[in-house]
Amino acid sequence: MPVGTSIRGWRRAARPGVAAAVALAVAACNLGAPPVVVDVKAGDYFSEAVAVGDVDGDGDVDFVVGNDWDTMEANPLPGGYSVVLSDGAGGYAVERVEAPFFAWREVELVDVDEDGALDIVGSDSGNQGLPDIPAATHVLPGDGQGGFGAPTVVHAGPGAIEVADVDGDGHLDLVVVDREVQVRLGDGTGAFGAPITSAYAALPGNEVVDAVDALLDDLDGDGAADLVVPFRTRCSPDPRACPGRAGTAVLAGDGAGGFGPGAGTPVYATPDRAQLADVDGDDDPDLVSTAANGITTYLNDGDGGFGTSGYSPLPDGELAYKAAVADVDGDGTPDAVVSGYDNHGHLLSGNGDGTFGPPTGLATSGGGASLANDVLVGDFLGDERVDVAFVSGRADKLTVLENRR
């Protein structure tokens, strides 16, 4: 995959500055310099998700941070988002935009209308209360100068999202996964069609399933995008009626927008978030999942089935939340960068066989009791080195760790 392709997707749109899992080689790792900490001006909000791309057309990598509605405040306002424009030399200008969103679950920067400017695709989990904001996925068209237009609802309801060309027609499609998989095929204008629906978990009548994440890649080498869905279950209407379960469903794509049971049986674990990346050097995408206080790797057998490779713990008492995979230290093997609770971040050097070494602590937002919500890896400075970025919960900070010589 060339530089600029998302590490999470196979037919994902190019995201300038985001490194492929192992395609971007770096000469050395020097993340120990003082981090660049950017106040995203979330104010009363809770910074949840981050995406990167050149949104103003100047060749530098910018950030868009989704801000949740912080219900802990006495007078909460709509969450909106923050646009963080880079000057290419380590400086950033921030503009916060208020919008009628409650809780940004995910943010993607992709060109869905094919006008050459990156657009925002954001999933809002909504709020049934005061205020009453319905869950939905929105598209905000980019103007190519760092601004974005009014949001348009392209899918009603909550869900984990992926944006990719799943039917091979050259246009980006929208995949939304909640209690079922819904694929809306794009026409290249920013509009999406009626959903193509697939099930991904067969459960007893009193259980419902909630998707934790959605990951697309060609798992079995047949040329079609396949889908991996980490999920949790709960009893409904009474959650106390049965213990919740967690698992990861593997679905084979038909190349036309439909998904069915994959070659591999579901991988049962306790996932929080996951990544697909080749961590053992066999050119097959493997699954790296955060769970409890570490990460678990499941190696792909080449046919879309997964087996457990190993578990890599974080220090005692620290919990993993999200992981990103890239060759950060430049030794030719992919490493894992993990965000966690209480503002912790860690780098785990890869061994090349799907396992990772002991964690090294990374700065997130300067400390404080806050969740390091999201983590990205990529060449943010254009110097062919993998940098790291965290966005940190109530700290309302974007922390960029520049991999300098």
Q: Smallest Cα–Cα separation from 401: which of 75, 90, 170?
A: 90
Contact 23, 29 (CB under 8 A): no
CA separation for the pair 85, 93 (Å, rounded): 5
How high is the mean pLDDT of the chain? Answer: 81
Q: Smallest Cα–Cα separation from 215: which of 253, 263, 269?
A: 253
Contact 102, 131 (CB under 8 A): yes
Contact 338, 348 (CB under 8 A): yes
Tokens of 138: 């929105």
Averaged pLDDT, 228-239: 82
CA separation for the pair 331, 352 (Å, rounded): 10
Contact 126, 84 (CB under 8 A): no
Q: Is the pLDDT of residue 116 over 90?
A: yes
pLDDT band at 262 (very low <50, low <70, confident <90, very high): low
Q: What is the pLDDT of residues 147-197, one digit of tens each?
A: 999 999 999 988 999 999 999 999 999 999 988 999 999 999 999 999 999
pTM score:
0.88
The alpha carbon of 254 is separated from its chain's Cα centroid by a whole number of angstroms, namely: 24
In the beta sheet, which residues pair with residue 369? none
Averaged pLDDT, 284-301: 89
Q: Residue 242: what pLDDT?
A: 75
Q: What is the pLDDT of residues 10-52, one digit of tens each?
A: 333 333 334 333 333 333 467 756 788 888 865 556 677 889 9
Provide the strand spans (E) within 87-132: 92-97, 104-110, 119-124
Tokens of 334: 């992919």
Q: What is the pLDDT of residues 120-147, one digit of tens each?
A: 999 988 775 656 788 899 999 999 999 9
Tokens of 332: 């030719």
Give me the amino acid identity at 211. Answer: A
204 Cβ neighbours under 8 A, 6+ residues apart = none
Look up residue 20 and give its DSSP letter: P
